[in-house]
Every structure is written in C-alpha cells, then in structure tokens.
Amino acid sequence: SYPNSQQTEAPTHRVENDLNYIRRTGNRTLTVTSNLLWLTQPQQLDVVREGSAQRQRLDADLLRMNHNVAWGLGAGRRWSFQFKGGIAALYRRFDSALSGLGVETSAPLAADTRFGYGSLYLRPTATWRTQRLRLMLALPVDWRYYRYTGGDSSPLLWSANLSARWTPSACWTLSASGAAGEQGADDSSIYPVALL
C-alpha cells in the first residue's frame, strides 16, 4: 500500500458551429453547409506521496471543419442529380509530459504528436426512382494533403458507390449497396489515447 493524495483537473472547452441553408426553386435545389468543431481537453494529475511527487500533464486538441455547396436538379419524374463540392480539414494534437519519477524508465516522459489534413472534394450523385425502386450511383473524388509528425503525403482518394432500395409493400424494404475505391484514414482511429 502506498498512501498518497491525488488532485486532478480535466476541463473541456468546446466551440461548435453548424450552418445549413437550403433554397428550392422549381426542380432545382441549392444547399450550403458549414460545420466547425474546436475541442480542447487540458488535463493534469498530481500525486503526492511521502517524500515524492509526480505530475502528469496531457493536452488533447481537435479542430474539424467541413464547408460545401451542393446543387441538385430534378430531371423528369424519375431522375435527379446532385453535384457537391467543398473543402474539409482536420487537425489533432496530443501532448503529454510526466515528471517526478525517481526511477529510470525506458518509456519517454514527454510526447508531442500532431496529425492533420486539408481536403478538396467533389461528389456527383445520380438517382433513379420509381414508386417502389430507388437506384443511386455516387462517384466521389477527394484530394487530401496529410501532414503528421514525421512526414506528409497527398493521395487522391476516389470511390464508386452503388445502392438499391426496393419497397414491395408497406411492411417490407430490401436494400443492397456496394462500393469500391481508395478510402482515407478513419479520423476516429488516429492515435486513440487513454486520458486521465
């Protein structure tokens, strides 16, 4: 048993903006969307024992934004088309520091990890529908510039997505979809960390 006293601070600061503007005129639709999220979580843990004290400090920041414009057009009773283009960005930072250890350790006592990307994208979509059947084809293209601790890259991402939904009755709906292409990294899986 190690008698000690602990004190922790773990505030969260968040700024968020969601803007959606939709304008319809006849068979045309214009949609403007703007999303912004800034999140910071500075944390600190102090442990005091007889004759020693340790401190762990963590700083986790996230900035995510996505701004786009979409133009939709209905062509007759069966066809509709949408052309969406925009910019997106993500920035993540994780800093940590540990002090007050009296023993040698091979693990680093401080870390500074950063990851981010900027993106330009275009997402054309075509939809064909009847009363019971709906087919949709999307062909998104996304150019990203990744920057991270230790390097950078700029891949061109693309995919072809086809989906079908059939509603034979009010109680039944069958759907199927498939996709092929090159996808980017999953933002939520980039250096997940256990915070205090």
User: Per the structure block, which two tokens stand in for 12?
Assistant: 């969260």
Lowest mean pLDDT among 20-34, 118-132, 160-174, 180-194: 180-194
- Set out the domains of the chain in order of their start, with CATH numbers: 10-184 (2.40.160.60)
Contact present, 88 and 119 (Cβ < 8 Å): yes
- For range 46-64, the mean pLDDT: 86
Beta strands (DSSP E) in the chain are 4-9, 13-25, 28-49, 52-75, 79-99, 110-129, 133-138, 141-148, 151-153, 156-169, 172-182
pTM above 0.85, yes or no: no
pLDDT higher than threshold 70 for residue 135:
yes
Interval 49-72 mean pLDDT = 90
Task: Render pLDDT for 79-103 as a digit per residue (tens, 0 to 9).
Answer: 999 999 999 999 988 888 888 776 6
